[in-house]
Amino acid sequence: MNLVKHIPAILMAFTFSANAQNVEETLAAIEVNNSYLNAIRSSGEADKAGFRTDITLPDPDIDFAHHWLTDENAENVKELSLKQSFDLSTILGYRGNVADKQGALVDLQYKQVRMNTLLEAKVIVLKLIHNSKLKAEIDKNLKNANLLVDMYQKRLDSGDGNIIELNKTKMALAKVSAEAKRLDIERAALAEELKRLNGGNDIKLSVSEYPSETLPDNFEEWFANVSTSVPALQYATEQTNLKKEQVRLSKMQNAPKIFAGYKTEWSNAFDKHSLLVGMNLPLWSNRKKTKHSKSELIASEHLLADANTQTRSNLEILYNRTKGLKLISEEFLKNVNELNSVQILDKALNAGQISLLEYISDIEMYYDIRKQSLNAELDYRLSLAELLAAEL
């Protein structure tokens, strides 16, 4: 979680904070402003600093003694000694390696939280784009419904219509108006959700089209490239690497701990200087720790194998689901684009070929199909976003 890694996102967030934003700029701003991400980032830096507090040598020991002798003719003796212990696991970097691996796990935990947060934000953005597309269709329908009410009001005023037909057009207008208001309420709620993720700061989303993302053509090739970026797999791999380092550290801790020092004694009659060398034999303190570390390594390797299996299986299921939703969306879009129902229905109504009730019913059916097409497109986009989450 080096701050340097986040400089591009910070600069982008500051650059676009006051302007209308696209999807990438929105996610960059949220990465910088999200309060939970900031808390996790700060907590992670503290944890990483804490991991390195135990990789220093022990503090030196300094002793002073003043000996009073009972012999009246003897000189009192003073003694000063200095000793330093040397832990080979620290000197050779074993403890430092463990601290590095622990820090890497903290970074991966942050990466997982970051991915989940940005995916949540992206889902909201996709729903806002979907809302805009629905609103565009509703606005067309609303315009058409208003024209219909005006037309039948004029017919009634000229004596060429009746109140029943006018009421039908007004009921159709009321239904469309209610749907338009519902979309406005939904959009406001989504905007508030995006604001919450952005640390309480407003975001002016300027896009009305989905981002230019595509479903990978081949799952095997895509998974081979993306598997190294999936946080869950990275975490399981790094966890296993940590356990390996802990096994090495545990073995090294079976080695004797050496100490060296200097000792001096003096009185009015003499000075004596000595060098001290010794060792501490860990006969009891490290018993069974290596065996325990090896057991943890074996368990971690099993978890890594399971993580690979589960991740691959889940992503393949999601890939196939996304592929199916893509086909449904494309088929819907093709069929809808071939329709020209509004113009045909307008001509048929004006020519007296269909009744007003039939016209209203067919118009509702047409816009319902348009809505289903947009919903199918959203389903595909949401599934694709989840599939590509590791690339955020």
Query: Each residue of 257-310: pLDDT tens digit?
Result: 888 889 998 877 778 888 888 888 887 777 788 888 899 999 999 999 999 999
Q: Which residue has the higher pLDDT, 81 or 55?
A: 81
Instruction: Taking residues 141-146, report their average pLDDT.
Output: 90
Terminal CA-CA length for the chain: 16
Categorise residue 265: left if φ over 0, alpha if ψ from -120 to 50, beta otherwise: beta
Please name the CATH architecture into which domain 3-391 falls: Up-down Bundle (1.20)
List, for residues 315-328, the tens digit of each pLDDT value: 999 999 999 999 99
- pLDDT score, position 20: 53
Determine the residue type at 22.
N
> Token pair of 350, please?
């004006």
Determine the residue type at 124.
I
Any idea how long the chain is? Answer: 392
Instruction: Taking residues 194-198, report their average pLDDT.
Output: 95
| CA quadruple 295, 296, 301, 307: dihedral sign | positive
Q: Which residues of 104-127 are buried (b: 16+ CB within 10 A; e: fewer)?
A: bbbbbbbbbbbbebbbebbbbbbb
Decide: 124 and 197 in contact? Cβ < 8 Å: yes
| CA quadruple 96, 100, 102, 106: dihedral sign | positive
List, for residues 32-51, the tens digit of each pLDDT value: 999 999 999 999 999 999 98
Residue 58 has pLDDT above 70, yes or no: yes
Residue 21 has pLDDT above 80, yes or no: no
Residue 236 has pLDDT above 60, yes or no: yes
- The pLDDT-based confidence of 72 (bands split at 50, 70, 90) is low
Give which of 362, 333, 334, 332 is closest to 346, Cα–Cα: 362
Q: Which residue has the higher pLDDT, 377 or 58?
A: 377
What is the percentage of the chain residues whose pLDDT exceeds 90? 51
- The pLDDT-based confidence of 346 (bands split at 50, 70, 90) is confident
> Token pair of 208, please?
């009305």
- pLDDT score, position 133: 95
- Listing DSSP states for 252-307 in one string gives HTTSPEEEEEEEEEE-SS-EEEEEEEEEE--SSTTTTHHHHHHHHHHHHHHHHHHH
Instruction: Taking residues 354-375, report their average pLDDT.
Output: 87
> Token pair of 328, please?
């449904």
- The pLDDT-based confidence of 73 (bands split at 50, 70, 90) is low
As a whole number of angstroms, the distance between CA 252 and CA 289 comes to 11
List, for residues 201-216, the tens digit of each pLDDT value: 999 888 889 999 999 9
- The pLDDT-based confidence of 11 (bands split at 50, 70, 90) is very low
Residue 363 has pLDDT above 70, yes or no: yes
Q: Cα separations (Å) of 92 from 2, 55, 56, 248?
A: 26, 11, 11, 11
- pLDDT score, position 119: 97
As a whole number of angstroms, the distance between CA 37 and CA 6 comes to 12
Summary mean pLDDT of the chain: 87
Residue 2 has pLDDT above 60, yes or no: no
Coil/strand/helix, residue 204: strand
Residue 89 has pLDDT above 90, yes or no: no
As a whole number of angstroms, the distance between CA 242 and CA 232 comes to 15
What DSSP designation does 59 have? P
Coil/strand/helix, residue 46: helix
- pLDDT score, position 1: 53
- pLDDT score, position 3: 45
- pLDDT score, position 29: 94
Give the CA angle between residues 334, 351, 142 to the nearest 5°: 55
- pLDDT score, position 116: 96
As a whole number of angstroms, the distance between CA 169 and CA 26 comes to 42
Radius of gyration of the chain (CA): 37
- pLDDT score, position 373: 93
What is the percentage of the chain residues whose pLDDT exceeds 70? 93
Strand partners, 21: 205
What DSSP designation does 208 have? -
Domain boundaries, the chain: 3-391
List, for residues 103-132, the tens digit of each pLDDT value: 999 999 999 999 999 999 999 999 999 999
As a whole number of angstroms, the distance between CA 134 and CA 78 comes to 92
Q: What is the pTM of this model?
A: 0.83
